[in-house]
Amino acid sequence: MEIKPIEALWSHIHSLGVLAVTGSFTAAAQRLGVTKAAMSLRIAELERAAGVGLVQRTTRSVRLTEAGQQLVDATGGAFGDIAHSFASVRDLAAEPSGVLSLTAPLALARQQLVPRMPAFLRQYPNVRIELELSNRLSSLSQEGFDLAIRHADSAPDTHVAWTLCETRSVLVATRAYLRRCGVPATPADLANHDCLTYLRRGDTPTWSFEPLNGSARVSVAVKGSFSTDNSEALRDAALGGLGIALVPDFSSQADLARGRLVPVLPRWRPIGAFGQRLFALRPYSPYVPRAVRAYVEFLRTEFRGGFS
C-alpha cells in the first residue's frame, strides 16, 4: 500500500495529539468533527508511514506508545502555535466570531448566565456558544474549553482570571416558616431549626458567622430534613417552607427583592460556605480570542450592579 508523503500527514499527526488528550477514538473524532472510522484510518496511515506502532489499544482504553508520545511531545508546541496564529488572523475580522466553549456550575448558569445569553448573542450574532454545566473545575486546555465561570474565594495560579464581581452568602427563609418555627436571634438558635444544607459528603454540616460589629467568629453544627449539592434546589426548598437555607446571593437575590424570601440573622455575616468572588478563568496563552474578550466584558458589565 502506498505511503503518503509527510506533507499529507500533518492532519494525522494533529489527530494523534487530540487522541492523546481525549483518550478515546470516539472523543477525538467528535472533537475533530470526523467519524470514528476516519479517525482510526488516520492513525493507521500514520503508523504505516512511521513504521512503528504509535497507539496501544485495549478494550477499555487507548494510550500512546513511547514512539507515539515522543511524536506528540515534539509536535504539540508547533500545532499550538499554528492554532494561535490562525486565531489571531481570523480575529482581525470586525466582529467577534466562532465557537465559544464555556463551562459553568449548573445553578449559576441556569439562574444568571443562560437568561443573559440572548442579549449577548444578539449583540454578537457571529458567535456560537457551547455551554457545559458542571460543578467540576475541568482541565480547560485538555478538555477544549475556552473559558470557565467559577464561584470561588481565589483564582487558581495556573489560569488567567478576570474578576466579574464580588459575591456573598445569605441566610434565608420564608415568613411562613419563621412564623411557624420562630425567628433565630443568634447563630446558636439555628441548632433548634430545620437547616437546609449544601451537601458535602463526609462533612458534618457546620455554619460559621461573623457579627457585623467585628466580634469573634461563631460556628454552629446544624441539621435538617434536606441537603443537596445545588444552590438552586436549596433556594426552592426554602421557598417551599422547609426551613432556613444558606445560599449564594446569586441564587436568592431575586426572591429577596420580591419578598418571597427574607434574610435571617441580618446582623451576622455567613463565612466560608461559598466563594466570595465570581471569576472567568482561561488557560494561559499569549493570545485571547475576541469572542472570549467580548463575553468577559459583557459579563463584567452585566454583573457590575450585582445579581438580579
One pLDDT digit (tens) per residue for the chain, 308 residues: 456 667 777 888 888 888 888 888 888 888 888 888 888 888 888 888 888 888 887 767 788 888 888 888 888 777 666 666 666 666 555 588 889 999 999 999 999 999 999 999 999 999 999 999 987 665 666 677 889 999 888 887 778 889 999 999 999 999 999 999 999 999 999 999 999 999 887 778 999 999 988 778 899 999 999 999 999 999 999 999 999 999 999 999 899 999 999 999 999 999 988 888 999 999 877 778 889 999 999 999 999 877 76
Report whether CATH 3.40.50.2300 matches the domain 98-167+276-302: no
Question: What is the per-residue pLDDT for 221?
Answer: 94
Q: What is the pLDDT of residue 141?
A: 60
* pLDDT at residue 226, as a whole number: 96
Q: Among 237, 251, 246, which Cα is nearest to 270's?
A: 246
Q: What is the pLDDT of residue 200?
A: 83
Same fold, 6-90 and 169-271: no
What are the sequence ranges of the domains in the chain?
Answer: 6-90, 98-167+276-302, 169-271
Confidence at residue 216, expressed as pLDDT on a 0 to 100 scale = 83
Residue 90 is predicted with a pLDDT of 61
- Sheet strands side by side (includes 268-271): 218-221, 206-211, 268-271
What whole-number distance in Å separates Cα of residue 225 and Cα of residue 196?
A: 7
Distance from C-alpha of 220 to C-alpha of 256, rounded to nearest angstrom: 24
Q: Pick one of 2.40.10.10, 3.90.70.10, 3.40.50.11540, 3.40.190.290 as the CATH number of 169-271.
A: 3.40.190.290
Question: How big is the chain, counted in residues?
Answer: 308
Q: Identify the burial level of 155 via C-beta atoms within 10 angstroms of its C-beta, where 0-12 means exposed, 13-18 middle and 19 or more buried.
A: middle
CB atoms near residue 167 (< 10 Å): 20
Residue 63's pLDDT is 84
Domain covering 6-90, topology: Arc Repressor Mutant, subunit A (1.10.10)
pLDDT reported for residue 138: 58
